[in-house]
Structure 1
Amino acid sequence: MPSILTHAAVPLALWAASERGRISPRLLAAGIVAAMLPDADVLAFVLRIPYADAFGHRGASHSLLFAALCALLATSLHRPLRAGALQAGVWVFLCAASHPLLDAMTSGGLGVALAWPWRETRFFAPWRPILVSPIGAGFFSARGLETLLSELRCVWLPLALAVVGWRAIQSAPRGSTHLQ
């Protein structure tokens, strides 16, 4: 998995790319929580639930169903989030779904149960450039630092460039259809 900090990168990038005020601070916070929440399943290790179990690490909480349930909750809480119901639901779904998609791009683990409960199969992305993050105290090691550097290179930098590019496109003068 990428580090918990890197899971916040997707909601932050989407927020930075959006129009000012379009995403309330509360909705942004809900998106960040939704993007990090699937890793609460590390409690499975403490509860001695096997990693490969449907409720083990990267199991049910890393499914699109879990993201949809988070979206349903956000839809019902849209007023305190200061958003419309549809906006809250779509936002939280995208943020929660970004978590297993990033995890699928890591170099280790058993993959993510993206299609749970319909399929027990664990998936990896065809391209896996992100080093898997050590869990717990191992994060504060040379390997943890190496992981952070791979996340900066493979997640934060591309997202930052995408935001800058998107903002540049949005601020380009309208009506200009050719180069001068």
Structure 2
Amino acid sequence: MPTVFTHAAIPLALWCASDRGRVSTPLLAAGVVAAMLPDADVLAFALHIPYADSFGHRGASHSLLFAALLALLAALLHARLRAGAVQAAAFVGLSALSHPLLDAFTSGGLGVALWWPWSGERLFAPWRPIRVSPFAGQFFSARGLATVFSELRWVWLPLAAAVVGWKLIQRAPATPRTP
């Protein structure tokens, strides 16, 4: 898995790319929580649920169904998120879905159960450049630092470039300038 900080990168990038005020602070917070929430399944280790179990790490909480349920919850709570129902569902749903997709691009683990409950198969992306993050006890180590650099290279810098590019395109004049 990428670090918990990097899972917040997708909703933060969407917020940065949007027009000022388009994504409310409560909606941004909900998106960040939705992007990080699937990793709450690490509690399964404390409950002695095997990693490969449907409710183990990277199991059900890393599925399309889980992201859809969070999107539905956001739609229901849209007024509290200071957004329309569709905007709340889309923002939170995409934020939640970004988590298993980022995990699928990591170099370790068992893959993500993206299609749970229809399939228990664990999936990886065909290209896996992001170093898998060590668990908490080893986070502040050489391996943890290598993970952070990997995430900067493969997640944060491309997202920052995409946001800057998007902002430049949005500010481009609608009509060509005359010489």
The bucket for the TM-score relative to the shorter chain is: over 0.9
**1:179 Cα shift?**
10
Aligned to 2:161: 161
Aligned to 2:53: 53
Structure-1 separation of matches of 2:161 and 2:86: 28
Aligned residues: 179
Amino acid in structure 1 at the alignment position of 2:128: R
Aligned to 1:29: 29
**1:109 Cα shift?**
0.3
| Deviations 1:154-174 (CA, angstroms, capped at 9, x unpaired) | 000000000000000000000
**1:129 Cα shift?**
0.5
Structure-2 separation of matches of 1:34 and 1:141: 27
Structure-2 separation of matches of 1:173 and 1:128: 39
User: Does 2:139 match 1:139?
Assistant: yes
Aligned to 1:99: 99
The 5 A counterparts of 1:6-21 are 6-21=6-21
| Deviations 1:80-108 (CA, angstroms, capped at 9, x unpaired) | 10000111011100000000000000000
Name the Cα RMSD after superposition. Answer: 1.2
* TM-score, normalised by the number of residues in structure 2: 0.98
Runs (5+) with no aligned partner, structure 1: none
Aligned to 2:115: 115
**1:140 Cα shift?**
1.1
Structure 1 residue ranges, 4+ long, deviating more than 4 angstroms after superposition:
none
Runs (5+) with no aligned partner, structure 2: none
**1:137 Cα shift?**
1.3
Identity among equivalent positions (%) equals 72
Greater Cα offset, 135-144 or 93-102: 135-144
Aligned to 1:171: 171
Aligned to 1:76: 76
Structure-1 separation of matches of 2:3 and 2:21: 28
1:11/1:179 CA distance change after superposition, 3 Å: farther
Aligned to 2:152: 152
**1:136 Cα shift?**
1.5
**1:127 Cα shift?**
1.0
Structure-2 separation of matches of 1:46 and 1:138: 17
Structure-1 separation of matches of 2:60 and 2:69: 11
Amino acid in structure 2 at the alignment position of 1:27: L
Structure-1 separation of matches of 2:87 and 2:44: 32
